[in-house]
Every structure is written in structure tokens, then in C-alpha cells.
Amino acid sequence: MEVTLIAGEMVVHASVPSGKSTGSHEALELRDADGGMETAIANVEGEIAALITSREWSSADEIDTALIALDGTPNKSRLGANAVLGVSIAAQRLFAEAAGVPLWKAIAERGGFSAAAPRLYLNFMNGGEHADFRLPFQEYIFVVGGKTSEAYAIAQDAFAKLGTVLKSNFNTEIPMGDEGGYSPKFDDIEKPFEMLAALVAEHSGTSIAIDAAANALRNDIGGYTLTGKDYTPDELRALYAGLIKKFPFHSIEDPFAETAMGDFAKLTAEAGEVIIVGDDLTVTNPERIKTAREAKAITAVLIKPNQIGSVKEAIEAVQMTRAAGWAAICSHRSGETDDTFIADFAYGIGAHGIKAGGLGQKERREKYERLVEIEKGAEAV
């Protein structure tokens, strides 16, 4: 979904990504029966355009409030989160441009955040639903902190090296998964971690993360199935505990299904320094983050604006996350566009990290490259 907003001389565009492994509580992405977005587009060109052109607006926040009221549902199911968010992002861009400030700065000011460079979470190996389950977990992530330009250079070097190692291991070219990471097939659960740990050993300030995306690992006997083997929730927790002990882990996202709040809390209690992240569990929804807070279920929240459907509510989700004393990690979606809004958002809120995929696809690299560009601009100020 792409939206163009015009005000006088100013023309801005925004495009909204789409997720494949979605949580059941996400805002609704409005699709036609054939998968198209004609209805959502008609909503933007019809009702939403009529609202936007009906009066003058003094802030992007005012526009978001009106859009949320116009939709009138708790999950944007009438107009579609894709329609509402497209206009919401375009409005944020327009007001930043009108004020003559970079997008990230307008977001920082809007939410009262201290802008800062996020750690890069690069999805080096894709599994789960993003790669026909050739690997059990959805994302095997190389985490790099520090100055973005240097972190990105380290990531490029490590990603190329992993490609060479995998190619010589399998004696053939390795396919790419949905998010621009390698997608080898290993039946040994620890093998991908051994490979990532070898890269981590070469670069200080780097570590390992996973997104287990465990909703997709559920079996019908109340547990989880990974590479053909069944695990009870307790056994899966023991598997994570073993991995954490053996490998240089930074964080684990969605270790259990979105309904298993108690299992999240148990793992969080025993994970020590390792951060436990909610994605499908919390779906960028301030109410669900509040519930997770009461359960002490996690220590970080994944922030995806299209899970909630407006910039305003995504900012509120970050504020709720920070009020809980937790880290906010911003994320792209598996179906991305060349819009780099999420990079500005991550920098503007001073996120703990940004997940923007592997380096094998242009629309993933563009997010990291935008962060390098922001760093240069911020240094010049």
C-alpha cells in the first residue's frame, strides 16, 4: 500500500509493509478476496481523503486522532490498518518537512524521546515460515552495537563470510529466505548457533539473537515441534536455557506461543542478562504491553507500526514499553517496501535495536543504509 500526500508545494510518499507470521491480535490489514488492496485503496481515496481535505491540520498527531476516530474499530478493521498507517506515516513526513527537520527528529520531538542509534539486528539465517522450515526458528540474528557506519561494515563482512562458509559446507549456492538471509537446511539445532558464534568471536561488541516465532512451532498436543521432535513447554524452556549457556546470546523473541504468557514469565525469570522479547505476544498494542507488564512476561517489546496501524499508537506503545522499564526494538516486516520510515522511527525513539533483515535483499539493506545516512547528518549538526 503506497500513499501520496500533497500540501501546496510539498509532495510526500509512504508505503506500508506486510507480515507473513502475524500475531492474531494485530490490527487488520485489509485485503480483497483475491489478496489485492482495492478496497483499502478506495478507503484512502474516498473517506480518508475527504477527511484530510475537509479542514486545516496543525500536527500529524491531530491527523492520527481523527483517522482513528474515523475508523472507529479497535483494530482498524473498517478502513484497514494498511490504509490508515499509510496516511499516518505520510502525515508525519509532511509535518517534518514543513518544520524543516529530519523525520527522525520530528518523531523524537513528538514522543519526547532521546534520539540515538539502535543496535543492528541482522537476520543472517532465515527459517520457520520465512524459509519453509528448513531451520526451525524463524530468525538467526547477528547483533552489532556501536557506531552505525562501523557496525554496518562489520555486518557486511560477517554476512559475506557466512555465505562463503555455508557454500563450502554444502558445496552449492545457499537459497535466500524471505528476509534476505541465508536459508540452509540443518537438522542439528545447534549448528546455526555454532556458525554465528564463530562470527561473534571475530568481532567484539557482537552477539546472537533469535526470533523463534513459536506460534508457528505449535503442535496439536499442547507443545511445540522442532525439526520433527516434540517438546513440552518446559522442555522447550530447557532447550533455550541450554542454548543461552552455551552461546553468546543477547535476546530471544517469541520463545513461546502468543497465548503462553506464563511460559514467557518463567523464561524471563531465569534468563539473566538475556533479553526476552514479545512480538506476537504484544503486537505493538499498549493494552497488551500493559498485560505483559503485570505478568512480568518479557523484558523487551518489538515495535512494528503496522501491527497497531498508526504512528500515534506506535509511539504510545514505545512509551508504555519504557514505563515498564523495558527495551524497545523496532522491526520491519517480512514483506517490505523501499520505504525507510522504520529506520527513522528507530533512531528517533532511541531504540535498543532495529530488525531489518539480512543483507541479501535491497529493501533490507536500505534500512541500514538510511541509519548510516542519519548518523552522518546528525554528526554534521
Please tell me whether residue 334 binds ligand PGA under the rule CB under 6 A.
yes
From the candidates 129, 139, 179, 363, which is the catalytic residue?
179
Whose grid coordinates read 568471536? 201
CA distance 81 to 262: 30
CB of 211 to ligand PGA, least distance (A): 5
Q: Which of 2, 13, 20, 132 binds ligand PGA (CB under 6 A)?
A: 20
Please tell me whether residue 178 binds Zn ion under the rule CB under 5 A.
no
The distance of Cα 273 from the centroid of its chain, to the nearest Å, equals 21
Please tell me whether residue 26 binds Zn ion under the rule CB under 5 A.
no
Amino acid present at 140: Y
CA distance 145 to 344: 17
Please tell me whether residue 136 binds ligand PGA under the rule CB under 6 A.
no
Is 179 among the catalytic positions?
Answer: yes
From the candidates 76, 105, 304, 312, which is the catalytic residue?
304
How many Cβ atoms are within 10 Å of 87's Cβ, its own excluded? 26
CA distance 229 to 41: 44
CA distance 236 to 46: 49
Three cell numbers written together for 264: 514467557
Compare residues 94 and 141 and give the one whose CB is closer to ligand PGA: 141
Burial class (CB in 10 A: 0-12, 13-18, 19+), 36: exposed
Compare residues 268 and 331 and give the one whose CB is closer to ligand PGA: 331
CA distance 12 to 137: 38
Residue number of the CB atom closest to Zn ion: 279
Please tell me whether residue 64 binds Zn ion under the rule CB under 5 A.
no
Interaction pattern, residues 261-280, with Zn ion; x per rule: CB under 5 A: ------------------x-
Please tell me whether residue 211 binds ligand PGA under the rule CB under 6 A.
yes
Is 304 among the catalytic positions?
Answer: yes
Query: Which of Zn ion, ligand PGA, none lies near 375, with the C-beta cut-off 5 to 8 A by kind?
Result: none
Smallest Cα–Cα separation from 81: which of 308, 313, 303?
Answer: 308
Contact 13, 6 (CB under 8 A): no
Please tell me whether residue 331 binds ligand PGA under the rule CB under 6 A.
yes
Give the DSSP letter of residue 176.
B
Q: Which of 26, 211, 339, 366 binds Zn ion (CB under 5 A)?
A: 211
Stretch that binds Zn ion, among 144-152, 208-216, 333-341, 370-378 (CB under 5 A): 208-216
Three cell numbers written together for 21: 507470521
Query: Which of ligand PGA, Zn ion, none lies near 334, with the C-beta cut-off 5 to 8 A by kind?
Result: ligand PGA
Please tell me whether residue 31 binds ligand PGA under the rule CB under 6 A.
no
Please tell me whether residue 28 binds ligand PGA under the rule CB under 6 A.
no
CA distance 378 to 364: 22
Compare residues 279 and 375 and give the one whose CB is closer to Zn ion: 279
DSSP string, 171-227: TSPPPB-TTSSB----SSTTHHHHHHHHHHHHSTTEEEEEE--GGGGB-TTSSEEET
Catalytic residue IDs: 179, 304
**Interface positions with ligand PGA (CB under 6 A):** 19-22, 138, 211, 213, 279, 331, 333-334
